[in-house]
Amino acid sequence: MASHFSGVLQLADLDDYIGPSQDCVKPIKVEKKPGKTAAKIRIEDDGSYFQINQDGGAQKLEKAKITLNDCLACSGCITSAESVLITQQSHEELYKVLSNNKTAAPNQQKLVIVSVSPQSRASLAARFKMTPLEAARKLTAFLKNLGVHYVFDTTFSRNFSLLESQREFVRRFQRQTEDKKALPMLASACPGWICYAEKTHGSFVIPYISTTKSPQQVMGSLIKGHFAKQQHFSPDQTYHVTVMPCYDKKLEASRPDFFSEEYQTREVDCVITTGEVLRLLEQKGVSLSDVDSAPLDTMFSSVSEEELLGHSGGGSGGYLEHIYKYAAKELFGIQVDEVQYKPLKNKDFQEVTLEKDGTILLQFASAYGFRNIQNLMQKLKRGKSPYHYVEVMACPSGCLNGGGQIRAEGESSKDLLQQVEKLYESVKTEIPERNRTVKELYEQWLGGTNSEKAGTMLHTVYHAVEKMNSGFNIKW
């Protein structure tokens, strides 16, 4: 499996092909005294840092604390050697909330909801040798035994992400003559890619990025902005957790754009990875195989008669495929039943082309991993990119190979990934336009497909991050 963080956040053991800055550029106030020259740094066995002055005296240094918001507020990187404080983004934090609920007065208890990604479910199913449906039922039972009230599936919220992405692409395609940065539209579901784009290419690339929220954040809007009220809880009384295949999803959840100033709460309070779910099971001395199954919560889950549903188009959400088919029909009246992919330099860069009478009508691509992303950016900056849409993902092989997935044990990572892919693809697929509950929510929750509320709840904005000079200039 890929390393824990995408190359945006990682320096050592780099396998995403990014060469980030080696300085963390979080501004830190450094007290400078007149006449003092550069000091030496001594590192003790316990990890403490001491500044050794010219007179031989030693002064213990305070560690710089890096939070998730700092990760998104600078133009450097967090390295794998740094201690990243994820104070509100861990399975320990979830356990703390559940423990507090057991002793708190009824009016102080929180409504706890966990939304599980289909990629994480497939990883757990592979680890415990079971079907995705069995994994879903057993995980639901385990979480509810801990005190979780509802367990949902982000496949459901991905219906909104796919539908909004389809409509957004058609709007961009129709205005490409007057708006030179309408196309190519670049996917926005991968926070590792978004973080890199904002920091590295800033204002140049931001106009190209789809404004549609990821399934994680759509579910956050749905839970905090609709479901909580139905259950007679305010958003700040609701604790929403997601289970994701990717550590970068923790960064996404901590973006200021997804924070409610009115209620002082995030759309997603805590993100735990698939691997952290495994650690939670281990801490409880439980194997998922031994947990009794429980019925699935079907309100915000993609389930049909106790059968899980998913989307076609691969393990990263199927954005390319759904947008391609929709655009072909909507723009050119062409029905596409099967998408033909053409691999280029490597399996993580593929093209899809719609032609009629020798004329290219649509040209799409998928670019996974930072080597392919960098090549794409170079073409875009030179005006040489032929694409109308690109499904961009930071991890090689996409989300099923995310850094937060369960690691291989006694088998190769390649073999494990193939098992996870097979399990993920074994789920019956659905077409977002035909989901009755999604249609009802567009009317009841959002007031229509093109309403102002739909734009607020289902879309977001991005921010170019300017480089800053740091006072923290010790070179190691």
The residue among 350, 367, 115, 369 whose CA lies nearest residue 249 is 115
pTM: 0.82
DSSP state of 293: P
Q: What is the mean pLDDT of residues 405-414?
A: 89
The residue among 230, 219, 232, 212 whose CA lies nearest residue 114 is 219
Residue 167: pLDDT band (50, 70, 90) is: very high
> pLDDT of 17-35, one tens digit each?
333 333 444 444 445 555 5
Residue 29 confidence (pLDDT): 45
Residues 6+ apart with CB under 8 A from 324: 336, 339, 352, 354, 362, 364, 389
Residue 63 confidence (pLDDT): 62
Token digits for 164? Answer: 């909004």
What residues pair up with 354 in beta bridges, in sequence order? Answer: 362
- Percentage of the chain exceeding pLDDT 70: 81
Token digits for 470? Answer: 């740091």
Q: What is the mean pLDDT of residues 311-320?
A: 93
Output 256 or 170, whichever has higher pLDDT: 170
Among 123-132, 247-256, 446-455, the range scoring the smallest mean pLDDT is 247-256
Tell how strand 58-60 and strand 49-52 pair up: antiparallel
Output 54 or 73, whichever has higher pLDDT: 54
Residue 57 confidence (pLDDT): 79
Task: Say if residue 85's pLDDT is above 60.
Answer: no
Residue 82 confidence (pLDDT): 29
Residue 37 confidence (pLDDT): 53
Residue 304 confidence (pLDDT): 67
> pLDDT of 321-337, one tens digit each?
999 999 999 999 999 99
Could you identify the residue written with the tokens 């001491």?
Answer: 50
Among 69-83, 204-218, 247-261, 320-334, the range scoring the smallest mean pLDDT is 69-83
Tell how strand 270-273 and strand 309-310 pair up: unpaired
Residue 64: pLDDT band (50, 70, 90) is: low
